[in-house]
Structure 1
Amino acid sequence: MIRRITGFSKFSKEEKIDWLVKAFFNKQSITKETLKSYWNTNEKLQRLHDDFIENTISNFYLPYGVAPNFIINDVDYTIPMVIEESSVVAAASLVGKFWSTRGGFKATILGTTKIGQVHFMYAGRFSELQSYFKAIKSDLIDSTSAITTNMRKRGGGILDIELRSKTAELDNYYQLNITFETKDSMGANFINSCLEVIATRFQKEGIQIVMSILSNYAPGCTVKAEVSCKIEELIQGTSEIDPEVYAQKFKTAVDIANVEPHRAVTHNKGIMNGIDAVVLATGNDFRAIEACAHAYAAKDGRYKSLTHCEVKEGFFKFWIEIPLAVGTVGGLTALHPMAKLSLEMLQNPSAEELMKIIAVAGLAQNFAALRALTTTGIQKGHMKMHLMNILNQLGATIEEKEKTISYFENVSVTHSAVHEFYKTLK
């Protein structure tokens, strides 16, 4: 059966759904009902969602939760998180509360610059290209003045343009490497618009422009977040765990992620659980954040941990340094009602303040994971949170859920154990 179509984008939403269910689904009426059940009953809001992307037929909801009790630079925050994975929000909440009684989190901006590049080929003499670039450099910046006016008023704009030879990597390949400051805007459209104007102005016999595009690798837009306390304060209550042994074991877990890429990938994935959840909640681009973070983790030639740990002279210190190119104005942040709500919840932060909050969420998530891994193991807490997912898959009633949750208070949760207990309820 051929499942191809022309003119699909011109169909109405109803027509798109009709074609789709006939072409790919057996239970057509149920499929239609499912798709339409996720439409927003507020028609104005649904039209807004429909316009975000092309060929919209429905919405795909993810849970929106909050993690309270975070203190960052002596300011109280409740952090919004959008994620489907069990235990992430719970873990963040527990860690936020834990460190709130130990001085909270400290966060510092290390840089806010971003990069755009004009990629081109040139087979002539490099000395001639250099001379041409030096003569035209100021004109290249001036050519963008109409685009950069408002950004310059806010203290941003083009900071510098550099000619780079990349011929050692690819014959005849050069680039204009352009540094930008975009203030509270993520700045993708702004940067790309400037680059295209610069590429048009950068004309010389022998120069072949290949493309002009921002780079999502932004090592100049970096934030540091950290926590620290006396080693004896790391253990809560009457735990029998020796604080010094625990601190050293925790540090060793981080060290392993620094030397073993297989572990580092999972280690950093846990960090991104926290980071992506806040990035999504605030309407920012989590794909760009992910790509940049993983490139940064490999900047020394081997993929490593994004977090670091020090146990020294009676103190425990844990921190993260990570590039986060985010914005609080423009894009979805100005359009999506929930993104706007998230930013208001975070006290309408600047882009720099949001960088700090997001970095803290990543650090908190990593702390929670490493604490579990080096003590009780990751599955105990995770499977407790996953219990409700298993029960929903089984179609359990409210009464059956209550009985099962009560039973597993002091029993290890596994899929098979839950299935067996559920059988006894039936």
Structure 2
Amino acid sequence: MSKSISGFSKLSKSHKIDWIVATYFNNNNDAKNIIKQYWNSNLKLQQLHDEFIENTITNYYLPFGVAPNFLINGKMHAIPMAIEESSVVAAASKAAKFWSERGGFKAEVLSTTKIGQVHFMFHGDFKVLNTFFETVKPKLKEATKSITKNMEKRGGGILDIELRDKTESIEGYFQLHATFETLDAMGANFINSCLEQFAKTFREEALDYDSFSEKEKNIDVIMSILSNYVPDCLVRAEVSCPVKDLTENPLINPEEFANKFIQAVRIAEVEPFRAVTHNKGIMNGVDAVVLATGNDFRAVEAGVHAYASRSGRYTSLTHAKIEDGIFTFWIEIPLALGTVGGLTSLHPLVKLALELLHEPTARELMQIVAVAGLAQNFAALRSLTTTGIQEGHMKMHLMNILNQFEATNEEKAILIDYFKTHTASHSAVVEAINKLRI
């Protein structure tokens, strides 16, 4: 049975590894070798990675790929993607090439407002609380001047603060609901610093407010934290072309393809079981770019799926239509992203990814990420409504299966050529490997 340890974080990296290998791997040197083989030989770079988080013992690598031929608002991009799933980069690249020959992607940022909240409990007269809030509101902003000074110079800062009554949900529960503009920064630290100052000033001012009873003066702040739900930090991306141009394959009728495609989107709009998988495919593209550019994909995921449920039913993030013979496919998605701060100035690959994207502003990155999600969804729906998803996916997954069976380079070459004209299921690949090895 494994044992607990005190002071683990104070151990050196080598001592942490020794303890883990001794405690969980019975001093197996193979485990230690696996951990160490992912260390970077550049000691300075390895130290940088070690200091991103606590208790680092090694690096966990993901493939970093590039999807070329993305024509976005008339500008050509090669989009960096960090992801382990087979076929994502290939599918995005294929969709990008398809639409680059049909006018490319159009994208626009609809709004960039971000939200933070001070959650507090107050048991007293709401009218008195509201009057107090209106009195103290200018002081809340004034108290954050040292925090907001630099952001305001660049054109951002605190947009508004509201008092929200949430007592219908929880007795005595209220919020200071604040909106922010953080420009090219994702802004989490900026927003949280402002919120904590709001809470401090709000409590202090309440103690000196004469219209409060002694009980009312003791406002109980529960927490001060930004929200990753950003329904007003929205970006839209779309593609469109005449229906007659909607095929590369002369065997597929463009009108039939367009109608099936639209029905597939409609199914995702009304059927949550389909919508979840549909949106997961969108997030394959979104997350890969978010991760490659050093942004928080967990925050993006949480906000996006909340947005997909905003009507009270989980639904598709993409939509499609035909009007006057023109096929249009689009997405509106909330994205709180940054191109300064965080890992953007520290991680060498993040810096490289942003350089590859022509050093985008946060607004430009929002557009690029939305386009990646739309392209991924187009590629998936095109496969689903024509050849089926497995044909392309399993051919991309073929290399993973071959590596599982430690195929030689010669075996890989033979089997890759074989599966160009045969269905690549797991069992079919295993059977082919075994036949080859007889």
TM over 0.5: yes
User: Match for 1:44: what amino acid?
Assistant: K
Q: Determine the C-alpha separation between the residues in 1 that align with 2:432 and 2:28.
A: 36
- TM-superposed deviation, 1:60: 0.4
1:215 aligned residue = 227
Q: Distance in 2 between matches of 1:47 and 1:94?
A: 38
Asked if the contact 2:65–2:80 (Cα under 8 Å) also holds between the matched residues in 1, the reply is yes
Contact kept in structure 1, 2:2 and 2:24, CA below 8 Å: no
Q: 1:241 offset after TM fit, Å?
A: 1.6
Does residue 65 of structure 2 align to residue 53 of structure 1? no
1:143 Cα deviation from its structure 2 partner: 0.5
Q: What amino acid is aligned across from residue 219 of structure 1 in structure 2?
A: P
Q: Find the counterpart in structure 1 of residue 319 from structure 2.
A: 308
The corresponding residue for 2:130 is 130
Question: Aligned AA for 1:224?
Answer: R
CA distance in 2, matches of 1:405, 1:24: 39
Deviates more, 1:2-11 or 1:121-130: 2-11
Residue 230 in 1 paired to residue 270 in 2? no
Secondary structure of 2:54's match? coil
* SS of residue in 1 equivalent to 2:360: coil
Alignment of 1:241-256 (within 5 A): 241-256=252-267
1:274 partnered with 2:285: yes
Which residue does the alignment assign to 2:142?
142
CA distance in 1, matches of 2:269, 2:426: 33
Residues 104-148 of structure 1, C-alpha deviations (whole Å, 9 max, x = no match): 000010000100000000010000000000011011011000000
> Shift of residue 2 of structure 1?
3.8
**Partner residue in 2 for 1:94:** 94
AA in 2 matched with 1:169: S
Aligned residues: 425
User: Which string of whole-angstrom CA distances, capped at 9 and with x for unpartnered residues, describes residues 171-228 of structure 1?
Assistant: 1100000000000000000000000011000022041111000000011111000000
Superposed CA deviations along residues 306-328 of structure 1, whole A, max 9, x for unmatched, are 00101122110000000000000
Counterpart in 1 of 2:65? Answer: 65
Residues 15-414 of structure 1: matches in 2 within 5 Å? 15-26=15-26, 28-203=28-203, 204=206, 205-237=217-249, 239-414=250-425
Moved over 3 A (4+): none
Q: Name the counterpart of 2:213.
A: none
Residues 289-335 of structure 1: CA deviation (Å, up to 9, x unaligned) = 00000000000000000001011221100000000000000000111
In the TM superposition, residue 27 of structure 1 has moved relative to its aligned partner by: 6.2
Contact in 1 for aligned 2:295/2:343 (Cα 8 Å)? yes
Is the CA contact (8 Å cut-off) linking 1:124 and 1:206 kept in structure 2?
Answer: no
Q: Distance in 2 between the 1:316 and 1:177 partners?
A: 41
Matched position secondary structure for 1:202:
helix
After TM superposition, the score normalised by the length of structure 1 is: 0.99
Gaps of at least 5 residues in structure 2 are 207-216
3-state SS of paired residue (1:76): strand
Kindly report the root-mean-square deviation, in angstroms, between the aligned alpha carbons of the 2 structures: 0.7
Deviations 1:237-284 (A, max 9, x none): 4x2222111101100000000111000000000000000000000000
Report the TM-score when normalising by structure 2: 0.96
In the aligned structure 2, how far is the partner of 1:26 from the partner of 1:194? Answer: 49
User: Between the two proteins, what is the percent identity of the paired residues?
Assistant: 64
Name the CA distance, whole Å, in 2 between partners of 1:90 and 1:73: 22
User: Which amino acid is 2:248 matched to?
Assistant: Q
